[in-house]
Amino acid sequence: MGQIGSYVPAESAKLGMLDAVFTRMGAFDNMLAGESTFMVELSETADILKQATPRSLVILDELGRGTSTHDGVAIAQAVLDHMVRNTRSLTLFITHYQHLASMVHSFRNHELRNVHMRFTESGTGEDEEITFLYEVGEGVAHRSYGLNVARLANLPSSLLDLAKQKSGELEEKIRRRRLAGLVSAVGGMMGDPAKGNDALIERLITSAEQL
């Protein structure tokens, strides 16, 4: 905003000059060109990767959501890794893929940081209320509040009850899988301390954080 001469809504700001601002946001297809939403998403990302420099600002929003979860996570992780290691642009990478939060451990000089949009919680159960503060906080948001948003959108209560049940089942399944990974990693180190290399320790840290 400051670079284009606009008012900067802050008490103070330290600004660096940018050579370009690139954004990849929104979700839409291009039916005339026969391109799916995911194809448009990746084409725009490819253009950014070709043009961005270390003096660019890059904003990537929910990259990888237009395909299967595994492929989406893999592509998002690869793009983020490339942006940090190779392009080295100032990058804001917005995602709901919790797995990507562990990437901070791969950058020892703190080139990558996790932040989240802050919120407050009040009440419990059906009376639980979430207030979004529109402020940036350090660290990862370990919960998603999609069901709360669905309730605010006035979806039928019977549908919300079923969604809550399924959400709980999926969370428990994922938690058990992560716990099994943690037990496996600890067992590997206990059985043979010599195997306690960086890769195994990294796996242990990641598994513990995701519980």
Number of domains in the chain: 2
The one-digit pLDDT tens for each residue of the chain (211 residues) are: 777 788 888 888 887 889 999 999 887 777 777 788 889 899 999 999 999 999 999 999 999 888 888 899 999 999 999 999 999 999 999 998 888 998 998 898 899 999 998 888 877 766 677 788 888 899 988 777 788 888 888 899 899 899 989 988 888 887 787 777 777 766 666 666 555 556 556 655 655 555 5
End residue of a domain, out of 53, 80, 113 = 113
Specify if 211 maps to a domain: yes
Residues 170 and 72 in one domain: no
- Report the pLDDT value the prediction gives residue 202, as an integer from 0 to 100: 62
In a domain, 171, yes or no: yes
Q: How far apart are CA 155 and CA 6, in angstroms?
A: 40
Residue 101 contacts residue 134 (beta carbons within 8 Å): no
3-state secondary structure of 58: strand
8 in a structural domain: yes
Check whether residue 163 and residue 71 sit in a common domain.
no
Whether residues 2 and 106 share a domain: the answer is: yes
At residue 194, the pLDDT reads 54
Cα–Cα dist 120/43, whole Å: 37
Q: Is 124 left (phi over 0), alpha (psi -120 to 50) or beta?
A: beta
Q: Is residue 148 part of a domain?
A: no
Cα–Cα distances in angstroms (integers) from residue 36 to residues 28, 40, 59, 89, in the given order: 8, 6, 21, 28
Domain that holds residue 81: 1-113
